[in-house]
Structure 1
Amino acid sequence: MEGKNMFIYSNMDKDNKPLLLTGHHGEISAMTFGKLNGPVLLCSASPDYIIVWDIELCRRRTQEGKVAAGTVIGTLLGEVVHLSFCFSDERVAVCSGSTLYILSSKRHEVIFTFTNHLGPLTSAEFCPWNKDILVTTSEDRTFKVLDLKTEAVCYQSFVLSGSPLLSVFFLEENRHLITGSTDGQLWCFSVPDDNKCHLVTKMDLQKMEKRHVQHQGTVSDQAGFTEHLTEDKVETSKPVLKMASCSSLIDTNNEHKRDNSWLCIGSSDGLYVVELATSELLTAFYFKDYPILSISMAGSWSISPVWNDSMVFLVSSLFTPCVALLELRMCVLRSTLVCGEGFSVFPSSPPVFESSLSAELKRKEPEYPKKKGGIKEQPLVFHSKVKSSGYTSAPRSTMFSPKTNIQKNPSSKKANKNTGSLLRDYPADSAAPTIPQTHLSVAKKAVHCLQYSGDGKQILCGLGDSSVLLSKSSLTGNPTVYTGHDKPVGSVSWSLNRQWWLSASEDRSLRIWTHDSPEPAIIMGDSMFSKPVRSAQFYYLDKFLLLASGPSLYLYLYNVDITRDNIKRYQQRSVVKLAKCLTSATDITALSAINDFFSYIVLACGSDRSIKVFDMNRGCLASAIPDAQSRAVHCITQNKGSMFSTQAPDSYNLFLTSAVTDGVKMWDLRSLRCVRRYENHLNRCHPCTAAISPCGRFIASGSEDNCAYVYDIRSSSYLHKLQKHSDTVLSVAFNPATPQLLTGTMDGKLRLFQSSSAARLSLDTSAVHMASPK
């Protein structure tokens, strides 16, 4: 574009003479190409005309010696700042001042006019999956979703920023829209069928850039970044001028799949590639690093779709009459993800000889009191009056007579009926548990932690009133209360054999309980730990106790002895023995490890916002992820599955972390990278927990808006919002045997949710029992 004229160049043949298009009387302010793969259309705008050009037709007319001409579709609409074709190239959206015009691309016709924005428009884009939906952005710092069929506003956003919104982009695969502002902030919204947008995540280019440089391992990169900041002296904004998806299709077993969720962002100082699943900067290309471009600041960007594993960018300079054509290959981006050898929860070798996992606890044999002297001989005496001796009764002629009139035990029928509620196999294709089933008020204190037993029949609740509650998973009957702690219970854990369980409290003690005794079998306290026990669990198929207190990670061997001496009933016969103690630089705030099978990996989160990977086989710190979240992690949850479900082996390497004000992140242990973020729930001050369903398809999280959120593990936007809780939802837990979700609130209430498939199954089962003859 040069004043009133336009030059069309060919990317395939750079030596070919450009095509000259003339027809505008004023300065051209906006241009855009059509989106169909058929005839290439170009729309250009000036204050006097808006013209649509057929490039091939114009090229043929030029070759014939005629003047290339286009179709005028609008006149005297003012200074146009943005043009956009619909996906069928039949309509054109024109932004001029605070007015939006929808024009026909084939004739001079104004289809629709919209003037509801309070400031000048900056962009307008058509929805790719609904031809009648269009989104506009404005300098009034809002965007609007318009229904062109009804000519009504479906959704109007709140004021997103203190700076004007510049651009908008649709992600058809996830049905998301992303809008960016002049100060480098981006907002990602989900667009449901009713077009009522929900905020998925918010990003800031400057913050992402700083985190990206901090995670770089080389000193040269950090030095270059420091030099980049000192050159500017004043922190400049990074306007979001243009956005495009750079996800490409790859062939896997003759199937086409998208290999990433990357977003290219053209800004004034360079090109940024953001990984949308994690809201993190993948890489950045700065103009200052390429002096041959002669572009220091970009004024506009034009980005082509991915073709032949590459993308083409057309960049115009802001201060000089210069245009640059850039090409980015996808293989360059993929190479940035290549990292060193990762980890796995599955052991690849047996324990080493000196491993603490090979330690054994030597059990003491019970000592019996020795009798003085030898055993005295006693005469054998037959008492004729003792009927049980059998010597005085007549011999039996009939040894066995079966009872044929015995009735079935009604209690066994009732037991079979009750066990029918738990499924034999967890349904892998079941819907998320969202239907309220029952609720229970357990205390007036907060429910800090929940855990189901391995068979899904019982539930443990750690309460804020320093007690532990044991209840049926159906929340029926009277629960059993275990007391003994002096402060709130922050961690509970079932043993794999479900014979005992443990509880850890802020009172710096740990207790192991059994079913048949109100008194703990093991008490670990009495100044054993200098700080509260933050997390504790059974580990290595119930062989060890794993717990964290302060900066130390403890591994204890133990033996639970439930026998008691009536004389010395308060004497603890169970024993514990320290097998290993590992110390980190900062206090451990949460930990997690697999107990259902042998695993050497223990994950621990520190108060320095890091995630540490401990190898208990070698007894050392294997790796660490610095600054994993903006706040210290208060909850870490691994994908442990259950004995009722089956998942792909690699899925067990996924784990979640939760931090206040920073949402939930999902990590991959193999690469030690964050692979997705979940931020729809509200978590500003309370330690709300998260959980993964046994099928590995759903994620549940507590929230401070008196709701629980259920996410699809593959999408950052939530599936369901479970409302009508009476207070902040602190803890969540999935039933390992059936599609059920249990939530615990700040005011001590439990709510049970089930899936629609489980509800239909229970109704069908009830109907069968009612119809069956008695």
Structure 2
Amino acid sequence: MDDCGESRDESNIMVEKLSLSYDRPMSHLQLACCPTHCAVPLQGKDLLLHSLEDSEQTMQLTGHHGNISAMVFGTGRNPLLLCSASADYVIVWDVQRCYSRTRAGIVASGTVIGTLLGKVVHLSFSAGDERLAACSGDKVYILSSKIEDTLSVLAGHLAPLTAAEFCPWKTDVLVSISEDRTFKVWGVEKEEIIYESAVLSASPLLSVSFLLKTRQLVTGSADGQVWSFTFPEDLRCNLVTRLDLHKVMERHQRQLNKMSPQTVGVTGITPDTVETTKPVLRICAYHRQLELERANSWVWIGCSDGLYLLDLATSELHKALFLRVCIPVYCWRNCWNDGHNLHYALKRPWDYYPNLSITMAGSWAMCHGSGNTMILLLTSLFETQMSVLELSLPVSGTVDDLCQHLDRLSILPSGPLMSGSPLNAELKKKDPNRRKKTGSDKCAVKEPPLVFHTKVKSSGYLESPRMTMFSPKTNVQKKTERSTKTNMKRRSVFSDYPEDTAAPSVPHTCLSTTKTPTPVFCCQYSGDGKQILCGLGDRSVLLYKSSLTGTSAVYTGHDKAVSIVSWSHGRQWWLSASEDRTFRIWTGGSSVPVLTLGGTDKFFKPIQAAQFYYLDKFLLMASGPSLHLYLYHLDNTQDDIKRYQPRSCAKLMGHFSMESGTDITAVSAINDFYSYVVLMCGADRSIQVLDMNTGAVASQLPNAHSRAIHHVTQNKGSMFSSQTPDSYNLFLSSAVTDAVKLWDLRTLRCVRRFENHVNRCHPCTAAFSPCGRFIASGSEDNCNPSCKIFELTTAKRLTCMTSAAPAIFGNSRDTQTLSSM
């Protein structure tokens, strides 16, 4: 609970160092600032240079005959260059030389590098300050920073330009944005367009910036839209993130509102309920002296109403610094009555600064100062005010303060099983030949059974008896000792999964499962990557070789479409679940399921998840709001005399429900090694972390998506690859009309969003690669379902293959493939 004193201390994060009033408005002009100086127009035609180190040190520079429209400082510090532009001249000033001439009583002068270029709206230096880009009209003029020389003219936009920036790591590449709502990537030397984007928004693009750490391009529009694109070596940009500042603000407000159940209104303070536009006037990369790896995708965005700190990797808002008082009603929380007076404690989701001279910004200029500070230069939108603000960043790290650390949660178990853990349960095997002894049995004479053999010939027909009634004809092949020995030899020669190869991009095999169009609802590779199961809509399960060659084995028995298939860890059994509310366990060489559980009389709702768990010791099954944990015993031996008596059995050891009471929509648990963590997703859009060691919910993540989550999967790795232990704490979740999110179990925070896919109505699943470097996601592209592969660390889309929504990666080196339907 924050008190008012803490709120006043936090407001010192942004301090106004300088405020000036001028004779004319300066909104929508490009201003210039650096860690030591700031420059603004004076009386339209002159430059006023302020020193931030010495507030009394100012210098006036004259040389323009027209009104100054754009200014920018150079990227270097020795010498420090300042460029100013008007309709008549583009002048470069050496700041130190100007100070020396002024102290000597000589009029300071600059170097004219451009003449009569028109109204220049934006200036940008290249890395090394050798070239300068000037945007005028629909052209970009590339000028030399030392002499008056126009190196090249870039023309190609259909509307006036708004900004242009040189790439920091490719000095001969420039990106320009325009009111035609597109951006273009230029090769400066050859004056050619390397890449041209489509129309991004209904409003003009206003700002553009580069993220050096992640090698991304970020641009923003006048209606509050922000896009981030990859900027690879071939300069073919791919969309990584798109977000709307209005929606991000609303989502953040809802999350803060749910943190406290009590909300009251307070008289005397009128909340700002007027909805204002949020044009993206300026974008600057987040930087601290103590840089964090996960802060590489953080950016500051300057809008008309304030400054926002956004994480482009997760599309989350972490800080909002408003220029005027903006207190929503729900900010007043935790009220109590001591019998005499009603007390309130202020819990502010935003920082507001009522003492600033500017309440609505028209333009921004940002740079990183010394230590953990930022210098902000802004002008008023309607008035003639200019302010210089200093933003102090916490030394301990804003990212660390915002993360919720939950060190006790981990996929890998940190301790032994508790004595009362549900995972300690054991199934007592019953002896089928054992029966209760009675008093007469002690005196009775034991007679031998009439039949001594388990198999007998049928009467007179010399044929083996029927094993099942009305069994369909299938082509299930029985395993022989020879094939088993061959498989053991193949397993011994498997090599490690390659960790340095590229993701699959070329279709290898395309196979039609049936002659008639039949949907494939699910598929899964075996642990060794040699076989693949497919669940079809015609109530059958197909077993293929991973190469999809040869004839598949067909398993039938369900009454409705098969929606779930799952392999056991030992690859001896596999499980199938259907919309008929039953799940069955099968084994190779038999067309009859070893175990069948469920039915409409036992489960009142469809089965949403079913799998083996805890190294094949348990079965997990979710139906409705409950997650069932079964102990089971499988016996596939056949007895002709007692063939209708079931030998396999399963016992319910416990059931777990969502805390909200909603239905479970997806479940994920690792079966390849011992793990206590089970993830449950509910129809209320929440994710619950279930600790099976204690049999209770360890943590909960509410409102993980905008819709109900239909798929969740963990990074399970493979026996043929090795990953760091922390990588197993990552898991993916997806929902219709929402992005695929990457979560970290240790902090229960979204660490990456994958949005470059379309998911309008069908449940599109996602999967990790065995090496942990890629993920695959389904997509609905123009009625042609496809599979898209992304790089895990950068969210960069690598390839797109035409297929359908579900997708799974192969596990071994011999199957470096991805199967999709």
Which one of 386, 393, 410 corresponds to residue 329 of structure 1? 393
Instruction: Report the TM-score, using the length of structure 2 for normalisation.
Output: 0.80
Q: Supply the distance in 2 between the matched residues of 1:206 and 1:336 (Cα, whole angstroms).
A: 24
Q: Secondary structure at the match of 1:439?
A: coil
Equivalent in the alignment of 1:749:
none
Asked if the contact 1:592–1:637 (Cα under 8 Å) also holds between the matched residues in 2, the reply is yes
Q: For residue 514 of structure 1, report the CA deviation from its aligned partner.
A: 1.6
Residue 425 in structure 1 maps to residue 465 in structure 2: no
Equivalent in the alignment of 1:542:
616
1:250-399 correspondence to structure 2 within 5 Å? 250=290, 259-288=295-324, 289-305=352-368, 307-318=370-381, 319-329=383-393, 331=395, 332-342=397-407, 343-367=409-433, 373-374=445-446
One-letter amino acid matched to 1:488: A
Equivalent in the alignment of 1:751:
none
- In structure 2, relative to structure 1, the CA distance for the partners of 1:732 and 1:622 (3 Å cut) is same
Q: Supply the distance in 2 between the matched residues of 1:614 and 1:228 (Cα, whole angstroms).
A: 46
Instruction: Report the TM-score, using the length of structure 1 for normalisation.
Output: 0.85
Which one of 175, 184, 189 corresponds to residue 149 of structure 1? 189
1:12-91 correspondence to structure 2 within 5 Å? 12-14=53-55, 16-91=56-131
1:623-671 alpha-carbon deviations (Å, 9 max, x no partner):
2212212222222110111222221111110011122222311100000
Q: For residue 607 of structure 1, report the CA deviation from its aligned partner.
A: 1.7
Paired residues in the alignment total 704
**Farther-moved stretch of structure 1 (332-341 vs 534-543):** 332-341
Which one of 665, 688, 696 corresponds to residue 772 of structure 2? 696
- In structure 2, relative to structure 1, the CA distance for the partners of 1:139 and 1:742 (3 Å cut) is closer
Q: For residue 280 of structure 1, report the CA deviation from its aligned partner.
A: 1.7
Equivalent in the alignment of 1:629:
705
- In structure 2, relative to structure 1, the CA distance for the partners of 1:690 and 1:361 (3 Å cut) is same
Q: For residue 684 of structure 1, report the CA deviation from its aligned partner.
A: 2.3
Equivalent in the alignment of 2:337:
none
Asked if the contact 2:530–2:815 (Cα under 8 Å) also holds between the matched residues in 1, the reply is no
1:150-229 correspondence to structure 2 within 5 Å? 150-216=190-256
One-letter amino acid matched to 2:706: S
- Bigger RCO (CA 8 Å, 6+ sep): 2
- In structure 2, relative to structure 1, the CA distance for the partners of 1:340 and 1:697 (3 Å cut) is closer
- In structure 2, relative to structure 1, the CA distance for the partners of 1:447 and 1:230 (3 Å cut) is farther
Q: For residue 447 of structure 1, report the CA deviation from its aligned partner.
A: 2.2
Q: Supply the distance in 1 between the matched residues of 2:756 and 2:262 (Cα, whole angstroms).
A: 33
**Farther-moved stretch of structure 1 (655-664 vs 364-373):** 364-373
- In structure 2, relative to structure 1, the CA distance for the partners of 1:7 and 1:222 (3 Å cut) is farther
1:532-567 alpha-carbon deviations (Å, 9 max, x no partner):
111111111212111111111111111112234424
Q: Supply the distance in 2 between the matched residues of 1:330 and 1:474 (Cα, whole angstroms).
A: 55
1:452-491 correspondence to structure 2 within 5 Å? 452-491=525-564
Q: For residue 436 of structure 1, report the CA deviation from its aligned partner.
A: 3.8
Question: Any gaps of 5 or more consecutive residues in structure 1?
Answer: 377-410, 746-774
- In structure 2, relative to structure 1, the CA distance for the partners of 1:110 and 1:90 (3 Å cut) is same
Q: Percent identity?
A: 55
Asked if the contact 2:733–2:740 (Cα under 8 Å) also holds between the matched residues in 1, the reply is yes
Q: Supply the distance in 2 between the matched residues of 1:743 and 1:244 (Cα, whole angstroms).
A: 41
Equivalent in the alignment of 1:239:
279
Asked if the contact 1:216–1:222 (Cα under 8 Å) also holds between the matched residues in 2, the reply is no
Equivalent in the alignment of 1:438:
509
- In structure 2, relative to structure 1, the CA distance for the partners of 1:358 and 1:420 (3 Å cut) is closer
Which one of 612, 616, 626 corresponds to residue 692 of structure 2? 616
Q: Supply the distance in 2 between the matched residues of 1:230 and 1:292 (Cα, whole angstroms).
A: 17
One-letter amino acid matched to 1:285: L
Which one of 615, 627, 638 corresponds to residue 553 of structure 1? 627
Asked if the contact 2:677–2:691 (Cα under 8 Å) also holds between the matched residues in 1, the reply is yes
One-letter amino acid matched to 2:417: P
1:666-705 alpha-carbon deviations (Å, 9 max, x no partner):
1000000011111223332222221111221121222234
Q: Supply the distance in 1 between the matched residues of 2:528 and 2:355 (Cα, whole angstroms).
A: 66
- In structure 2, relative to structure 1, the CA distance for the partners of 1:189 and 1:374 (3 Å cut) is closer
Q: Secondary structure at the match of 1:704?
A: strand
Superposed CA RMSD:
2.9
Question: Any gaps of 5 or more consecutive residues in structure 2?
Answer: 1-39, 325-351, 449-481
Q: Supply the distance in 1 between the matched residues of 2:780 and 2:298 (Cα, whole angstroms).
A: 31
Equivalent in the alignment of 2:50:
9
Which one of 741, 746, 749 corresponds to residue 673 of structure 1? 749
Q: Supply the distance in 2 between the matched residues of 1:159 and 1:226 (Cα, whole angstroms).
A: 45
1:637-656 correspondence to structure 2 within 5 Å? 637-656=713-732
Residue 607 in structure 1 maps to residue 647 in structure 2: no
**Farther-moved stretch of structure 1 (651-660 vs 623-632):** 623-632
- In structure 2, relative to structure 1, the CA distance for the partners of 1:676 and 1:57 (3 Å cut) is same
- In structure 2, relative to structure 1, the CA distance for the partners of 1:32 and 1:651 (3 Å cut) is same
Q: Supply the distance in 1 between the matched residues of 2:522 and 2:265 (Cα, whole angstroms).
A: 43
Which one of 646, 649, 653 corresponds to residue 575 of structure 1? 649
**Farther-moved stretch of structure 1 (62-71 vs 628-637):** 628-637
**Farther-moved stretch of structure 1 (162-171 vs 353-362):** 353-362
- In structure 2, relative to structure 1, the CA distance for the partners of 1:103 and 1:478 (3 Å cut) is same
Q: Supply the distance in 2 between the matched residues of 1:740 and 1:257 (Cα, whole angstroms).
A: 30
- In structure 2, relative to structure 1, the CA distance for the partners of 1:420 and 1:357 (3 Å cut) is closer
Q: For residue 421 of structure 1, report the CA deviation from its aligned partner.
A: 10
Q: For residue 428 of structure 1, report the CA deviation from its aligned partner.
A: 2.8
Equivalent in the alignment of 1:494:
567
**Farther-moved stretch of structure 1 (516-525 vs 337-346):** 337-346
